């Protein structure tokens, strides 16, 4: 594990710093993340009904389901963007339900949302620096951000070539790459990726999934929401399937691959 990653993993909120690795002797001890009977709504529209599942530490769980099933809502609930109406979200043995977004991020949860979460009027480098500044280096932030930038440019050379270019003038694929580079460069404890491959050329999707696999090997736990079911299943240890806001399947990939292919149309690869 290199320095930047080690440091990133040390960046925790005060309330998490006393937590030993692998968590406490709670019923959640094998799971890094556990959702327990989570209900959530957008105003009067109820999006999640009693959603419960676990993401074991060090594993990758694929969260699948048709359009509108509630996948992105689950991601937003975990990262604190959508409030939990009832039920709980436990991360690293501690309840994070109701914590503000920044505290959940500091605790080690990174959420790569759908679409391109970039600032169009800032340069590529400024976008990366903003992302890194939140997540690196307690002692020497500028040095850590510089290291992180170098890592990002090594992993995504095209961003290095365009570092002074305004992000809004990048191609769609490059913008997606930029929004990912900020997260993939400093792997968190839990990475939630939402439709990562959307809008990326197949060769770039390959690069991104290679990076995900490397990060998984380095110890980051993952919740992978992905339209390319085949790719998601390649990387995942287990699958949770949502339908109309409810969990309809939860089990190891080997048991579910056929079912998932039956209930979901496989997009063109
Ligand atoms: N901001 C929002 N306001 C109101 N309804 C929303 C909002 N975002 C999502 N929804 C609704 O919640 C349901 C679940 O959406 P979402 O979690 O985005 O599904 P998925 O990511 O599986 O496609 C859908 O019916 C969607 O229309
Ligand atoms: Mg979605």
**pLDDT tens-digit series, residues 168-203:** 999 877 887 888 787 777 778 999 999 888 877 888
CATH of 3-263, one of 3.30.200.20, 3.40.50.2020, 3.40.50.300, 3.40.1160.10: 3.40.50.300
* pLDDT given at position 268: 54
* pLDDT given at position 179: 81
* pLDDT given at position 18: 35
Rounded distance from Cα 208 to ligand 2 centre (Å):
19
Find out whether the beta carbon of 66 lies less than 6 Å from any atom of ligand 1.
no
Find out whether the beta carbon of 70 lies less than 6 Å from any atom of ligand 1.
yes
Rounded distance from Cα 139 to ligand 1 centre (Å):
40
Find out whether the beta carbon of 79 lies less than 6 Å from any atom of ligand 1.
no
What's the rounded Cα separation, in Å, for the pair 216 and 52? 23
What's the rounded Cα separation, in Å, for the pair 109 and 103? 9
What's the rounded Cα separation, in Å, for the pair 14 and 159? 34
Mutate which of 44, 68, 81 for ligand 1? The one with the most ligand atoms within 8 Å of its CB, which is: 68
- Which residues of the chain are under the pLDDT cut of 70? 1-29, 115-116, 134-143, 257, 259-269
Find out whether the beta carbon of 77 lies less than 6 Å from any atom of ligand 1.
no
* pLDDT given at position 25: 41
Find out whether the beta carbon of 71 lies less than 6 Å from any atom of ligand 1.
yes
In the chain, where the domains are located: 3-263
CA 205 from centroid of its chain's CA atoms: 16
């Amino acid at each position: 594990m290199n320095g930047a990653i080690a440091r990133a993993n040390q960046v925790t909120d005060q309330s998490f710093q006393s937590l030993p690795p692998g968590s406490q002797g709670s019923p959640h001890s094998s799971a890094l993340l556990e959702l327990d009977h989570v209900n959530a709504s957008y105003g009067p529209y109820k999006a999640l009904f009693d959603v419960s599942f676990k993401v074991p530490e060090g594993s990758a769980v694929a969260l699948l389901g048709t359009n509108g099933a509630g996948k992105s809502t689950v991601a937003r609930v975990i990262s604190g963007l959508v409030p939990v109406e009832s039920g709980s979200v436990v991360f690293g043995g501690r309840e994070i339900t109701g914590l503000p977004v920044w505290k959940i991020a500091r605790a080690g949860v990174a959420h790569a949302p759908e679409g391109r979460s970039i600032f169009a009027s800032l340069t590529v480098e400024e976008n990366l620096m903003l992302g890194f500044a939140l997540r690196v280096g307690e002692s020497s932030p500028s040095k850590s951000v510089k290291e992180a930038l170098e890592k990002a440019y090594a992993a995504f050379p095209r961003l290095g070539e365009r570092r002074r270019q305004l992000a809004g003038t990048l191609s769609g694929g490059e913008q997606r790459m930029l929004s990912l580079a900020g997260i993939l460069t400093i792997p968190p404890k839990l990475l939630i990726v939402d439709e990562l491959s959307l809008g990326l050329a197949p060769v770039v999707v390959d690069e991104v999934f290679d990076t995900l696999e490397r990060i998984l090997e380095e110890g980051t736990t993952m919740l992978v929401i992905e339209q390319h079911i085949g790719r998601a299943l390649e990387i995942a240890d287990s699958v949770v399937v949502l339908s109309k806001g409810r969990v309809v399947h939860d089990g190891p990939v080997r048991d579910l691959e056929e079912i998932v292919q039956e209930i979901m149309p496989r997009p063109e690869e």
